[in-house]
Structure 1
């Protein structure tokens, strides 16, 4: 490696590798300034100097020349292109700061407002490039530089002039797989719409920390791009309409630059989106701030619900059955097997969080509950994140982002009581075994207790947490357990309402709790990817079980023989409680698991998810995911089964509570 390039640019140190080459910090001895120099590498070429007649070399030169024509504050300026050892070296302005990928890794998720501003700047830069006939082809967090208030799109090193792409029609697919548009996966040409798709994936990753399509292997990633329909992230808020529009699989229907700019500008100017989200369970993306958001124009299918719902039982026509297009996977794999995918940067740079591949779901059917038109309970003004049946099944409690706890008569669907004691979102609910009390956990770091004969609050248990995520009664009713963000699991005596003990263990936040049916064991799940098992009588640690990802849902089987856990990667794992052996994984769901529930006979498992695909249903005996029951294109965030095993309640992102017979889920 020469220390000086073209007799002028002295290489100081490597800044990184990305695109089709390595980037160096260099000093321009002629103009006495620091610059960035990109060394174009051809990994498939023979060792030694490159052949100037090589098509790859010609393409690199043409792309460098194209990038040099661009003049825009949001695009890295190309100063010079020189040839050394037969290879082109691109001399560019040196931009300070760090990449968006580094920002996400080191500082966490961006606020909605900041994300919108970054997206707006990138979109403006892309517009300038597209008007010049140049495509970027590799928009992703690693290629977006943040330097103070400046947002700069870099690495046009694999871009090509739109009207001169003959050199890329040789079967090669250029770009980072997790950010590729479906039409590119299917072998179609790159267009301005493919850059917009990549921006949509980038925005999704900026508010969640992960790509919606990334899987462990190339085949799984490409299949997900073609078939997976990302659900709205909990922290997307006002960004969801633009992200959803940019991730439209049909490029003809994909959101174009002009309306996308308007949407992003509206969010960027809205102060209510300036609070950075936390990666945590059950955080509503629609809140009181949603109603105050600036007016934006969105597609007809994103029309909001009426802002002031009233208590009623609503009759809705069930949607047509929609089947996931799994048949497209085989065709997609056949296409991609014939092409060489050039991965231009390491997967870890773009995707700090990598989801495992989905197993073949050919046996999964998508169905709609036959009784969906009945027993739809309205009244909440925000996403419903908690539901609980009373022990006798006659009453249902629900809690939501509107800070209310609502009580319903399950026979009639009528509202019995509405209370607004919590100062924040209601995140979990639990009835005492005798049905005399209801406990509610909230985002205001408190547990409230309600007397069920009057539905009046009788006690408030305050914690030094950021938020209480889960609450549970022991089967004998003597203990209340609570866990949440920034604190251990806390146990109280229900008679005296005094704290009994604290159970430290999770390195990060606690997301869910479950007592075994015999009351001897307490299990907790956390963001650290573990399930902790405790002796519920004295708080002694029993076992720490490793799970693949952050565990959001946790439940024991009715006979206590199994413990199930599910989380952000869509996987559900089972452990046998007799020996706590490493659990068997059920077939993976194509959605984040928010809650889990066994049927009372232990034969089935249902899950609440962040997905329009609905409620996954597993056969416990075979471990197979047998169907996904759609709930009117809503996200069934929480799923609970009545103690007698006949009814299922779901809380959804459409501010609704659905009350359905279990047979709608278990009968094919």
Structure 2
């Protein structure tokens, strides 16, 4: 017996597996109804097009340990043929687009169900209502992130059509995502792009999104000006309080009003070519105008000097005004503080108060002087290189570079390509993702289906041209990466040989051999072309849980049960083995100089041990972990070791000259880490329990 979730009067519903209440004139979901991999638990609200429900992963779906709630939307009204558009919507993946986790056509009820994550942080509308102040730098950041989401959608033939602060969600401090793209193709308030548009008279177009984005920018600027005027004791202009007004903000000609009025033009040919160019011009205009307004407000408050007269129709005066030096921005007046907008800001002091545990100062996502020109921080666009002298120092902390949402199933593996720009990730659905990570932004390049079930391991060849993935479906996929910023993966072949789960794959240092280990207690060697070479059995019952190559010699270290074994790779000859932990060995990592072998144990032996691989002698044990270690990574010079553990911490350890000494304070992660990988420059990618990838820089 279940209860109907009708908010006007719940009543019992008998039977199992019932989705919709059969009572006449009801039509609400039943408590416990299963939609995809989620179980409906509560009614949220209803509007003219959809009913919204709260749901959680149900038991037995493989996700029950990830209890993050989701929102289920049941669409009652949609355009004919909308069910055929669900797959394209699911593929719309970008760091600033709120992803759909699941879309389903409920044929027996003629309804559409859409599932997305539940964001407790709320919307931009809520943030603007509750924040006590709003900086120009925050406004520019918000507009840039929205513009990136819209531009990505436009490039993939989707128009939003309903952009407003209510569907701009704050999913983490400094991270905004645009939601409700499904309206454009399912509900019919807008439509997908079918060709070029010359006007806005015959339906929505990308130009309409530009108008809406400019209105959002104007709304935030009005709040900024109101707060500025009140602090200076000045009168508030009436049109600053009108959210629908399109009147110029300031009583004199200026680049900021010119930028907004151009974007809000109802003639498409008068607008900016795209929303990205609007965002860049808007950032530059804010950098010019905001310092001038601030100085004049303060000056008028102290000396009662009036602002320049309105002069929109006086080109000569406008020219003299713009070239007079008054708009020469001063960095100290506009430079973003080490703060970002927060999903849960109330009336807290300053710009915001983040409630996540990584409260150390975050790096700025952009500089107003640098970003409009699109100049990267290094020649090739990757994260700034760390000097050899810097690499010899043990990091004591980390800073967040970016977050990359998009996965709709738990993340099971991540792996950096050798170039430090491309990142591969994989999940429980068997999909492999490819990302481009540069300028502190992670962009998804594509999702590639190659496995039927969860992917266990990913490994790049040393030259970065090949990627190997292994799965619990007993297969290995060999992928080739194309060159360029818009790189893609193409599957070369699928390799079979193991009889069960393949836990790990790893390329040899010269890139000529691929080793794999699995539940069948077998290590297999493959050629670069994917052809099998030979294999051998390892001792133990649990199979090969971890495997790594020595950096110089062709030796392989394997972990099975509590044992570590050393093998001569080409013949599969056993060299020696030793008992390493009192629980299963989860991770093995050889130091770059070949002198050390690091291992981590399971939950019952949450240590990291440092071994002499020549004789299996224990050199040091790193303790202090509350849970097992998920990943280990070495510095290029083997002087320090980084650990990411299931107790939500990133730690750094000195190896030479005093092994086992922890340096700095543990860096707190916001949720459970499931997988991780690090570049030679100390940039760490962590697959989080909340279906996003966190990118950190060791400092």
Instruction: Give the TM-score of the pair, scaled to structure 1.
Output: 0.45
TM-score (norm 2): 0.44
